[in-house]
């Protein structure tokens, strides 16, 4: 587990960030989950898009470039969606719905993953 921090705002975002590096973690993501804790998230390094097929809950999604700068945010992405890949995105973070607004994550912010 890792912690996700907004360096621009000097503010913690979540304390329990899982890093999806294995095939099984990347494939499963949050599929099958009925809810997510507000301190829970999943980071997909070297990824510029995700899908929500087979998911039963909506999520907030943050797309980051190679320097961990926020390129795009998607709030309340519903299950069974296939959004377009994001140009210049290098990784994606999935969060529980409402976290983008409650933590005030904005395009241009720089995030940091700490271990």
Instruction: Name the domain count of the chain.
Output: 1
- The pLDDT of residue 30 is 92
- The pLDDT of residue 115 is 80
- Structural domain including 37 reads 2-114
Give average pLDDT by consecutive 10-residue segment, the chain, 115 residues: 97 97 91 94 96 96 98 98 95 98 99 94
- The pLDDT of residue 88 is 95
Residue 82's contacts (CB-CB under 8 Å, 6 or more residues apart) are 51, 52, 53
- The pLDDT of residue 81 is 96
Determine the Cα–Cα distance for residues 95 and 20; give it in Å rounded to an integer.
13
Residue 23: which CATH number?
Answer: 2.60.120.1140
């Amino acid at each position: 587990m890792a912690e996700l921090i907004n360096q621009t705002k000097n503010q913690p975002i979540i304390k329990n960030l899982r890093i999806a590096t294995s095939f099984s973690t990347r494939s499963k993501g949050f599929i099958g989950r009925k809810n997510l804790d507000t301190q829970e998230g999943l980071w997909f390094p070297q990824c510029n898009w995700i899908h929500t097929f087979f998911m039963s809950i909506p999520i907030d999604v943050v797309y980051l470039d190679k320097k961990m700068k926020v390129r795009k945010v998607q709030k309340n992405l519903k299950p069974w969606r296939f959004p377009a890949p994001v140009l210049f995105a290098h990784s994606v973070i999935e969060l529980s719905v409402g976290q983008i607004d409650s933590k005030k994550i904005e395009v241009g912010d720089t995030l940091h993953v700490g271990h």
